[in-house]
Structure formats: C-alpha cells, structure tokens
Amino acid sequence: MTKRKHALLLFSKPPVPGLVKTRLTRERGGPFSEQEAAEIFRRTLFDVAELCCHAMYELEQESAAISEQDPEADEHSYGFFISTTPAENVDVMRNAFEEIGQWPREFTYIVDEGANFDDHFDNAFQQIFDLGYDSVLSVGGDIPMLPREHVLNGFRWLQYFIANSEVGGIIQAPCQECGVSVIGWTRDTDMDHQGVYYNMNGRPALDAYVEKASEKGIPLASMTPVADVDDISDFAHATTLARAARYSRQTQPDIYVPERFLAWVDWRGIKVGTPPNEDRDSREGIDSDTPEKA
C-alpha cells in the first residue's frame, strides 16, 4: 500500500472592496458598488470552499471503503490549501473565513509569489509539491456553479494518471471565455503555467495548456465547462443557474446549491431579464407556405 497525498488549491484574492470583481462595479460599467462586488465574491468564495470540503470528505470515505476491501490498495488523503498574495493578505483571507464560524476541515494558508500571474500560480503549485503532495487540483473562488463531480472526478483522474502514466497527467475544466476554471496535474508532470496567462501573442489560456501538453506528450483529461463570474452577463448567468439548481434539488437532492450567493441575490431582489425577442421564427414562414392537405 502506498499513501498518496492530494491537495485542493483555492487560488484567490481576499474579498476586499476594490480588489476583486471590479468589472461588476459602476466604475467599470457594472451595476454594483465596490463593496457589493466584494460581497458577491465573498459569498461565491465560501460557496466554492464548502462544496470542495464536502467533495473531499466523500473522496476520503471512498478511499477508506476501498482500503477496507483491498488492504493493498493505495490510501488517499486530501489537504485544503488557500493561496493568496501579498503576505499581509493571508490574515485578511484567514479572518474572512473564520468570521463565519467552523469549517468542515482545516485550511492551510500560503503566500504565492512571483513577477506575474504565471509565476504566482507556479509558486503555489511548487510549494504544495515540496510538502510531499502527489497532485494538485486548483479552483478559483468565482465559480459558484462548480459541480461537486468536477472535484471528485478531477482527483480521480489525477489518481489514474499517477497509477498509469509515466509522464503524469493533467485535468482541466474550461470556463466560458477560452480559459480554465479548474486545472491540476500530478507531481511528476512536466508542466507549468508559464506563457499561459502572461502571454504576448493573444493565445487563450485553454489553448496554451493543450499546446504545452501536446508538445510533451502529456495526457490531458477534460471536464465540462464551468462559468466564472467576471462581468454582469456572467453574474446573470450564474444567478439563473443557481435558481434552477435550487428548484431542481427537489428532484436531485445531491445537487449543490450556492446558498450564500443566492441569499444575497434574493435579498437584493435581483431579477434577470433579457431583451424582448421580436424576431419571427423562420418556421412560421415555412409553415405558411405548406399546401393544405385535401
């Protein structure tokens, strides 16, 4: 039996007004104040963290059940890391999480460093690998509709790569704008974030990961897209999805609903609207030209 350690990395800024979700603010063409935008992010951040806690517990129970049936099977454990920057923001982030009470599991807070976003991402991954973890799965705090299955299957794919691939492997879920909402790989994977986000040729982040993996022959597994919340159209999309999930829970009790996010949206009385559809369905013309049957 080999003991495998896996890490969930929540790579995020703290929910500070003026620092997060600025494209939702009136200063950037959105409808919200800086304080409101930060509150939206604070709630999505906590919703994502809670979902990940539940998923990691489920994975631990799954590993325990497998070990009970097969004592020679690998044993899997999971750590939860929250990375932010600069160093003074660690206490800000820790206080934000502790203000709402006890969490289902312990968080480890780290500081990511570097000259650009790619460097910071690499630094966070490397710190965790240096602690002896076999894989890292990273998520952002602005994806309130992250499916629990993405965390479960993300780690399952990483375990598969550890057991079956000599060159490691990558797991990703794209966002709605050619980037990624979930990204991770095993410790033995020859991969980094360089040239993915800080690039000068306009290459989308998702394409960058795929091209880097392809050049080195590294297997990559993809999950369905998960939309993040950057601007008002993203916010409207997340709101409608969350409300649909809340109603669907009557039929699908296991579906995760971002309750903190929805509570704020409902409290504000926000309703999502679309422009009236004045375009006539082309089938009406087709139907009108159809000869009547005798």
The full DSSP string for 40-107 is HHHHHHHHHHHHHHHHHHHHHHHHHHHHHH-TTSPEEEEEEEEEESSTHHHHHHHHHHHTT---SS-E
> Which pLDDT does position 78 carry in this prediction?
98
What pLDDT is recorded for position 15? 96
Amino acid at 47: D
SS3 for 5-52, per residue?
A: EEEEEEECCCCCCCCCCHHHEHHHCCCECHHHHHHHHHHHHHHHHHHH
Consecutive 10-residue averages of pLDDT for the chain (294 residues): 95 96 95 97 98 97 94 94 96 96 96 96 98 98 96 98 97 95 98 90 93 98 97 96 97 95 97 80 61 52
- Rounded to an integer, what distance in angstroms lies between the CA atom of residue 243 and that of residue 237? 10
Q: Cβ(9)–Cβ(83) under 8 Å?
A: yes
Q: What is the CA radius of gyration of the chain?
A: 22
> Which pLDDT does position 294 carry in this prediction?
47
pLDDT value of position 20: 96
d(CA 277, CA 257): 30
**Architecture per CATH, 3-266:** Alpha-Beta Complex (3.90)
* Domain layout of the chain by residue ranges: 3-266
